[in-house]
Amino acid sequence: MKVAICGAGVAGPTLAHWLLRGGHEPVLVEQSPTFRTGGYVIDFWGVGYTVAERMGILPAVRAAGYTMQELRFVDGRGRKAGGFSADVFRRTMGDRFTTLPRGDLAAEIYRSIEGRAETLFGNTISAIDEHKAGVRVSFGKGADREFDLAIGADGLHSAVRDLTFGAERQFEKQLGYFAAAFEAEGYHPRDDLAYVSYGVPGRQVARIALRENRTVFLFVFTSGRMSGREPRDLDERKAVLHQVFDDAGWECGGILQAMDKSPDLYFDRVSQISMDAWSKGRVGLVGDAAACVSLLAGEGTGLAVTEAYVLAGELSHAGDDYREALRRYEARLRPFIEAKQKSARNLAASFAPKTAIGLWVRNQAARLMGIPMVADLLIGRDMRDDFALPDYGL
């Protein structure tokens, strides 16, 4: 089958990888003019880790990754106020856990198909017309083309979803937070292999030191902190972060100064996507486009690669019966993904506590993670993947 895939992030290239293995012909369409590396930092583990292993990219992913030692909550003077050793994640996951920039994971996936799958960078899908024998896809640039299927792997704000299923607001569940992230070079202080997090009610900022003297910062704040409409461009986003964090204390002054010099800033609502169906006719969705779990799940990339793997596997097994493949793909994954979405929503209150008492309770609870039995129980409960990865023999 010829398959148009919109989005070369995490899910798109994974889908292309497994479609190639099944003898299909994927074409990726990515809005960014080049493949983007770096970006915010993610934890990669669980069932997606196994998919990466089956793709043969695990050694490269681990080499790009970091073995974090500590999650440290600090107070306004930078003194430790709570936290725990990150060993607990590796112990619970049998050392199958690594931390790395999201774009670096995506790049390792993309490298596995580079030169073998056509990729249209700096382009998008602008229309999809389904007919009896396939789909006619129109692009932002260039002539229309015919495909057997069109798949949206274009993230939380998917254009393919908009085109096929309707406006995003029908499917988006806002979790009450905004998140922002940027990378800076030469920022000090640095704490190698520590995730250093500072919180005041409703606001949280974290810094993670990377190789080559780089640091990634992540801001999370409650939606109520932002007055006025959502910012639309880089300058407006920076202004909002100043408005919310200027008086927050700790290193916020220095961090905001570093942000002012940054040419790039991730800024978005923290949301989930919940749909009644992940496909319609010859159009399917995968990754955040289909069922974003949000950053609160800490596993969106792992789930995106898993969905892509299962979708490609089912397509290869079903022969020409794409309808049955899309049905089986969704039936296999929906209960698992919905459970992940539910547990992420349950976490929302403790992620960036809205009150001083909430912060104190969160820090005390984090201390309990220092007790191995408690940590294994809590992390095992929240992080275990209740999903048997099928083997499609690809």
Ligand X SMILES: Cc1cc2nc3c(=O)[nH]c(=O)nc-3n(C[C@H](O)[C@H](O)[C@H](O)COP(=O)(O)OP(=O)(O)OC[C@H]3O[C@@H](n4cnc5c(N)ncnc54)[C@H](O)[C@@H]3O)c2cc1C
Closest approach of Cβ 362 to ligand X, in Å? 18
Least Å distance, CB 319 to ligand X, is 27
Q: Which of 295, 298, 273 lies closest to 220 in space, CA to CA? A: 295
Q: Which amino acid is at 247?
A: D
Q: Which is nearer to ligand X, 154 or 251 (CB)?
A: 154
- Nearest approach, Cβ of residue 28 and ligand X (Å): 9
Q: Cα–Cα distance between 272 and 299 in angstroms, integer? A: 13
Chain positions contacting ligand X, by CB under 6 A: 6-12, 29-32, 40, 42-44, 102, 124, 153-155, 159, 179, 181, 218, 287-289, 295, 298-302, 304
- Between 30 and 385, CB nearer to ligand X: 30
Pick between residue 144 and residue 247 the one whose CB is nearest to ligand X.
144
Q: What is the DSSP string of 25-64?
A: EEEEEESSSS-----SEEEEETHHHHHHHHHT-HHHHHHH
Residue type at position 280: K
Name the CA radius of gyration of the chain, rounded: 21
Instruction: Please report, to the nearest 10 degrees, the dihedral formed by the alpha carbons of residues 160, 163, 168, 172 taken in order.
Output: -50
Q: Is the dihedral of CA 357, 358, 363, 366 positive or negative?
A: positive
User: Measured from the CB of residue 219, what is the shortest distance to ligand X in angstroms?
Assistant: 9
Which residues, in sequence order, are CB contacts of 391 under 8 Å at separation 6+? none
Return the number of the residue (132 or 169) whose C-beta is nearest ligand X: 169
Cis? peptide before 189, omega within 30° of 0 = yes
Closest CB 277 distance from ligand X, rounded Å: 17
Of 304 and 326, the one with the shorter C-beta distance to ligand X is 304
Please report how close the Cβ of residue 126 comes to ligand X at its closest, in angstroms. 9
Beta carbon nearer to ligand X, 152 or 313: 152
